[in-house]
Structure 1
Amino acid sequence: TTLRSQLYYNSRIFINEMFNFIIAKIVELQSKQVPATAIGLFRLFYGLVTLQEIFFLLYFNHLIFDPIPYIDVEFPMIPFFLCLWGVIASFIIFGYRYQFAIISNYIFWIVFVNFTSMQRDFDGGFDSFMTGAGFFLLFMPGDRAFSIDNLRYKISTPFTHYNTYPKPTVSSLAYYLPVLICLGFLYFDSAVHKLFAEHWRNGLGSWLPSTQPYYVSAIDMSFLLNNELLQKTIGYTILIFQFTFIFFFSNRRLRCVYLFIGLGLHLGITLSLNIYPFGMGMLTFYILLVPFSWWRAMGKLLTAKQPTLTVFYDKQCPLCNRTVLIFNHFDIFSCIDFKNAQDHAAHYPALAALSHETLLTDLYALDKNNRIYSGVSTYIQILLKMRYLYPLGMILSLPGIRQIAEKKYRAIADSRARISCSSECLVSPKLQDNNLYHQIFECFATRKPKAFSRKLAKIVIALLVLQLNTTIHYGLIYRLDLAAKNSPISAPIAEASNSLIMLSLTFFGITPHALYLHDHFAGYDHILAITYTDQNGTERWLPFVNQQGRLLAPNWGRVHSMWANIAVTPTINNTRLQKFIMKVTAFWGPKIGLNLDNTVFHIKLKKINAPAYWVHDQLHQNFSSPWTTIGTVKWTDKLISFDLPDNINSL
């Protein structure tokens, strides 16, 4: 009893100290305001990764969602909803109606992952990662930089000059929390699993997948794979990196080390393996790890030292003020200086020949050589001087297009309204910031800082518990084969643990990260491919797996996961294999113009090796291994028949 009391007392002390430590860290990070640059870029690249995945889903729509591609179409509205999702992803990229877009995107990920065949047959861990990232974006100030919403806030008060707006800043919590949970938790969980894999303990964790034909991209990395010392250095570095990331990534001195190792790791995954979406998704998070001073240095390097064009506008014209705000918003290199003609034109001798009334009639501009432009010519010069919009400036200056633009400009300029007003005027209702970040991390945190810190600390601890539950359940109990379910005492605990895992996976993307471990590669000594006989009697390879055994683009990402992780495994299940042979032939046959009823498909097998120890030139040895035809597949009146061995594993 005394021992139990002491343990209980010590555990309470530990929990309280940990809770107080988390609160103190939250208060420290919340009070530190940092540039919003990387948050905006993170949102932009997350949107791009999502959009490319939507294009991928549209292309493979029938393969992924149809029970039998093109023959049994179960979800005919899938393309429509994917297009809607694509619009939402575009909103995220451009930062337009950010809160609505990011909530909609989060719902789309949950619905598509949990209510379609995406997760069951075509998931490789990417979906859970994107769901988790999407959850954190709900509470991140993603509209503070590089966003249309930021512009919308400004043009709702057009008489406020852009120089009066401070540079957008956010709490450093917006940087650290997503990295801590989405990367730190993931890495630590993954490292725990890796310790149980022999090839990872041998330092060959990155080498082994890169020698397997199904897993490699079209880039031949043999010159790196054939260096044993280099491969083991990379393998052990990854283990140390993943175990320690969660503890040291925020350290100022070590931050750059973790940044470069992480970039190298995931850039390597993106280039060398055919799971590029996962690599790109992970790379987006490293935008948040770039030191703030680097962003400031890049800003100084890229922005113009002096404006190359000065534009004069009518400060009493709401349309002119909005135009200035729009151009300034997109002038990311600060090449244009906008000044109101009433207060500043008199200071420029080159404009002395123009009367005050003339200056207010059109939009005038003055370049470094004192050349004067007006009207459409000013717009052309603005686009040209903004560097990245130079092509648009050239297009606008083309004969025909310019004349149309001048006619339209004249009609608008001559009918625009003028108002005697100042920055206090509200031409339209001021756009309110109703985003969750503003409401929680700024309004609520300012009103009730202690309550904010305590509640956020509890949320962080809850997420930590969810991750520990997943890691302990699959990383320790499952790996150590403790057989918890056999005990009447632990069975309810195991059930509760599974329920928590389902919850954390569905809504937060917290899941075991046991990819490419020993239980996947042990016995992975054969791979399959599909060929067909054309009308001339010539055997050709289906554009799926090639002669080397590589999965060809675009059959990467989740399609690779379907074939290499589910259909073809160390122990092939014939029922499962036949299902995916059916899907692949029914999808790619019509894609390349085959008449399924007149085509014979051949199933070919190749023996390969997946050793847990280093072997020189293992990739090319696997590439050059010969193929053997082990069976055929035929379609007749939309029905498929198989002539395959009963036990492929014995071949």
Structure 2
Amino acid sequence: MIFSKLFRLVRDCYETEVSGIGLALFRILYSAVLMGEITTLFHYRHLVYDKIPFIAPSEIDWAWPLGIWLLSVAFIMVGVSYRKAALVNYLMTVTCVATTSSYEYHMFYAYTGINFLLMFTPAANRLSVDAIIRRNRAAAASLPSKPEQVSLINYRIIVFVGIALVYFDSVFHKLGSTIWTSGLGAWLPGSLPMVTQTDTSALLNHKWLAIGSGYAAFCFEAIFIFLFWFKRAWLPLTVIGIGLHFGILVEFPIPFFALGVICIYLLMIPPELFERFSFPRTTDPSLTVAFDAACPLCRMTKATVESFDLRSNVHFAPIDAPENLPPQLADISETELASTLHSVSKSGDIFRGVETYAQIGSAAFLLWPIGVALQTPGIRGLAERTYAWVAKNRRTERCTDTTCPVPMGATRTEPAPVITGLKQSNIASFAITVFLIAVVLAQGLMITQSALAIKFYHSAGLADTPAITAIRKATGLVRYIVQPLFGITYHGVFMDSHFDGYEHQIRITDKTTGETLPVTTKAGAPGKYLTGFNWVKWSFRVNAPNVDQTKLANGIRDFSAFWIHDRGLDLYGEHNMQVDVRRIRLPLTWEHNYYRSVMKTPWQSAGTASWNNGVFGIEIGEIESY
């Protein structure tokens, strides 16, 4: 019964066709974010993947996998060989993310899930090179081009997996967290210098705002998965969600996380609004072009221009239908119109040859560079000579199977059924339904190990029972599979365990230059190295609650080695560093001006660290004793 209802819901969504422009914009913007993340990972690859940066290198040169990954995402962004690029992107995501070890952070899981879905999503139907090629092939063969509409399910499934399920899981962690249930979920992380990158005391000093924002974020995540199904809720959810993650962008050094989720939220905007407001089509084109519909090259030119002319500012009128041509061209013979491209502006001006292409570039917004180039002396002359040669030598006869065979990839008018007697939508909807159920069950299993569930097990005396032990083992096994492949995992963010016992902050200074290693600023805020995965590594795994001396030493070793090499210095030389510590009093309730009071806390020496002839040494006291 539940499966049947879900299947019908999925099928209705699958059979609802909407504009593909929103999905295309998501593809472009999300790819830009992902390329930023990969570029950052490439820069820090020796820090992330080497056993000891530049001293004990990784078994493989990660420049190659990361370079291939970056190239595949660039192909996705512009829409070249999209399906193949999406497959390579997913394989590289699994390869590069699954091996980041202690540098992984929550956005890595989001990339994994979304990149898996991109393999099956027609995100290149619009605003892509693939779309232009398909339209050109179809135009050359006088066949209809592939529809630019896409199924609504492509929008919804990315939001469901990338946001709704993540929030739903996160709620169960927050319900088991004293920080969140007491309203400190936004205030405390925003008040700790090793966590936040921006002094927002002007806002956080208002108790009602500081506490209220924590509860508001919690409530928003709790209701999202229930309101997500109602179309009227899409825009309000989008506005609130983008606002929330813009705040994260300002507050915390995880820019690609904030921007990536904002990209997903764009898929919540009703697709028709993209067409209406981003690229509204005009009914009064500014330029009419007379073209030879019998000429394959002319048809391909028309298809190419229409791919970039998102607002339909350029209208093409076939020369073999004189009644549809502008009256300004009435006295020009069909032979001349076929040999030289003519156009007429809204004001009645006539343009010929290369000048027509220049006017097309000016009228079609995305082609404006061509319009500018064709007005440039030198380029203009070369273009006119090239045009004269092409016009003289082009093929003008009507398309036949001999002169203009159907190219590979051209759209067929009637797609053959996948299985006789079954609708393609039923097959696809069945597969999507099974996938969603599997994803929900896997995430549900993760929830059994949430902070709220564990608190319940202990309070009910069930924590060590055979049943709960079996569930714990099953969850661990399932997570071992689904986390690296689909990004399904726990989503506890800023939990009690992240801060309980977090009473010390570490700073490292080069003794020779007095320069502070950029894991922190001199004042103690996150340094320029701490962005995304590096921020999580240093702030929660190296300089962590109840400091582990071994992890701290290894962290100082790795970050200092990278820093020395990054400055162009020799790791086999001699480098001495001062390690300082300051004690942080972790508050249990809201306090006025807490961030600034911590920043005024003095530092004290904890010891030294050094590199000498490629060997790292460290002598520091027990940090928890300070």
Structure 2 residue 592 is matched with structure 1 residue 616: yes
Report the secondary structure of 1:473's partner residue: coil
After TM superposition, the score normalised by the length of structure 2 is 0.91
Q: 1:169 corresponds to which residue?
A: 149
Deviation at 1:156, TM superposition (A): 1.3
After TM superposition, the structure 1 = structure 2 runs for residues 242-253 of structure 1, keeping only pairs within 5 Å, are: 242-253=221-232
After TM superposition, the structure 1 = structure 2 runs for residues 86-125 of structure 1, keeping only pairs within 5 Å, are: 86-114=70-98, 116=99, 118=100, 120-125=101-106
Partner amino acid, structure 1, of 2:351: Y
- In 1, the alpha carbon distance for the partners of 2:278 and 2:560 equals 52
Partner amino acid, structure 1, of 2:109: S
Deviation at 1:260, TM superposition (A): 1.6
Structure 2 residue 558 is matched with structure 1 residue 558: no
Q: 2:239 corresponds to which residue?
A: 260
Which one is further off, 309-318 or 351-360?
Answer: 351-360
Q: 1:588 corresponds to which residue?
A: 563
Which one is further off, 475-484 or 82-91?
Answer: 475-484
Pair 631,480 (structure 1): closer, same or farther in 2 beyond 3 Å: farther
Q: 1:467 corresponds to which residue?
A: 443
> Contact between 1:190 and 1:514, CA under 8 Å: does it hold in 2?
yes
Structure 2 residue 170 is matched with structure 1 residue 190: yes
Which one is further off, 137-146 or 501-510?
Answer: 137-146
Report the secondary structure of 1:631's partner residue: strand
Question: Quick one: which of 492, 495, 498 aligns to 1:517?
Answer: 495
Q: 2:7 corresponds to which residue?
A: 23
Q: 2:304 corresponds to which residue?
A: 326
> Contact between 1:159 and 1:315, CA under 8 Å: does it hold in 2?
no
Partner amino acid, structure 2, of 1:254: A
Structure 2 residue 66 is matched with structure 1 residue 82: yes
- In 2, the alpha carbon distance for the partners of 1:392 and 1:213 equals 50
- In 2, the alpha carbon distance for the partners of 1:123 and 1:565 equals 11
Q: 2:136 corresponds to which residue?
A: 155
Deviation at 1:77, TM superposition (A): 2.8
Pair 292,346 (structure 1): closer, same or farther in 2 beyond 3 Å: closer
Q: 1:237 corresponds to which residue?
A: 216
After TM superposition, the score normalised by the length of structure 1 is 0.88
> Contact between 1:631 and 1:643, CA under 8 Å: does it hold in 2?
yes
Partner amino acid, structure 2, of 1:586: A
Q: 1:181 corresponds to which residue?
A: 161
Deviation at 1:106, TM superposition (A): 1.0
> Contact between 1:208 and 1:612, CA under 8 Å: does it hold in 2?
no
Pair 455,404 (structure 1): closer, same or farther in 2 beyond 3 Å: closer
Q: 1:7 corresponds to which residue?
A: none
Which one is further off, 205-214 or 509-518?
Answer: 205-214
Pair 469,426 (structure 1): closer, same or farther in 2 beyond 3 Å: farther
> Contact between 2:141 and 2:406, CA under 8 Å: does it hold in 1?
no
Report the secondary structure of 2:194's partner residue: coil
Q: 1:43 corresponds to which residue?
A: 27
Which one is further off, 335-344 or 474-483?
Answer: 474-483
Structure 2 residue 316 is matched with structure 1 residue 342: no
Pair 425,198 (structure 1): closer, same or farther in 2 beyond 3 Å: farther
- In 2, the alpha carbon distance for the partners of 1:39 and 1:289 equals 10
Q: 2:581 corresponds to which residue?
A: 605
Deviation at 1:193, TM superposition (A): 0.4
Q: 2:111 corresponds to which residue?
A: 130
> Contact between 1:158 and 1:325, CA under 8 Å: does it hold in 2?
yes
Deviation at 1:52, TM superposition (A): 1.1
> Contact between 2:504 and 2:623, CA under 8 Å: does it hold in 1?
no
Deviations 1:165-187 (A, max 9, x none): 68622332222233223211110
Deviations 1:10-33 (A, max 9, x none): xxxxxx4x2233123223323322
- In 2, the alpha carbon distance for the partners of 1:287 and 1:549 equals 36
Structure 2 residue 182 is matched with structure 1 residue 207: no
Deviations 1:451-490 (A, max 9, x none): 6555543332222110110011234444446497844555
Aligned length: 621
The alignment's C-alpha RMSD in Å is 2.9
Report the secondary structure of 1:214's partner residue: coil
Q: 2:393 corresponds to which residue?
A: 415
Question: Quick one: which of 55, 61, 72 aligns to 2:56?
Answer: 72
> Contact between 1:136 and 1:178, CA under 8 Å: does it hold in 2?
yes
Q: 1:12 corresponds to which residue?
A: none
Partner amino acid, structure 2, of 1:71: I
Partner amino acid, structure 2, of 1:511: T
Q: 2:207 corresponds to which residue?
A: 228
Pair 266,489 (structure 1): closer, same or farther in 2 beyond 3 Å: closer
Q: 1:496 corresponds to which residue?
A: 474
Which one is further off, 588-597 or 482-491?
Answer: 482-491
Pair 480,527 (structure 1): closer, same or farther in 2 beyond 3 Å: farther
Pair 371,448 (structure 1): closer, same or farther in 2 beyond 3 Å: closer
After TM superposition, the structure 1 = structure 2 runs for residues 300-315 of structure 1, keeping only pairs within 5 Å, are: 302-315=280-293
- In 2, the alpha carbon distance for the partners of 1:148 and 1:81 equals 25
> Contact between 2:164 and 2:225, CA under 8 Å: does it hold in 1?
yes
Q: 1:4 corresponds to which residue?
A: none
> Contact between 2:132 and 2:307, CA under 8 Å: does it hold in 1?
yes
Partner amino acid, structure 1, of 2:475: S
Pair 346,556 (structure 1): closer, same or farther in 2 beyond 3 Å: closer
Q: Structure 2: 5+ residue runs without aligned partners?
A: none
Report the secondary structure of 1:158's partner residue: helix
Partner amino acid, structure 1, of 2:229: S
Report the secondary structure of 1:93's partner residue: helix
Deviation at 1:305, TM superposition (A): 4.9
After TM superposition, the structure 1 = structure 2 runs for residues 283-432 of structure 1, keeping only pairs within 5 Å, are: 283-299=262-278, 302-344=280-322, 347-352=325-330, 354-421=332-399, 427-431=405-409
- In 2, the alpha carbon distance for the partners of 1:455 and 1:385 equals 44
Deviations 1:623-645 (A, max 9, x none): 33222232221111111111211
Q: 1:11 corresponds to which residue?
A: none
Partner amino acid, structure 1, of 2:173: H
Pair 215,374 (structure 1): closer, same or farther in 2 beyond 3 Å: farther
- In 2, the alpha carbon distance for the partners of 1:193 and 1:182 equals 17
Partner amino acid, structure 2, of 1:546: T
Q: 1:10 corresponds to which residue?
A: none
After TM superposition, the structure 1 = structure 2 runs for residues 132-147 of structure 1, keeping only pairs within 5 Å, are: 132-147=113-128
- In 1, the alpha carbon distance for the partners of 2:59 and 2:283 equals 56
Q: Structure 1: 5+ residue runs without aligned partners?
A: 1-15
- In 2, the alpha carbon distance for the partners of 1:397 and 1:370 equals 20
Pair 401,628 (structure 1): closer, same or farther in 2 beyond 3 Å: farther
> Contact between 2:69 and 2:93, CA under 8 Å: does it hold in 1?
no
Deviation at 1:445, TM superposition (A): 10
Which one is further off, 57-66 or 593-602?
Answer: 593-602
Q: 1:6 corresponds to which residue?
A: none
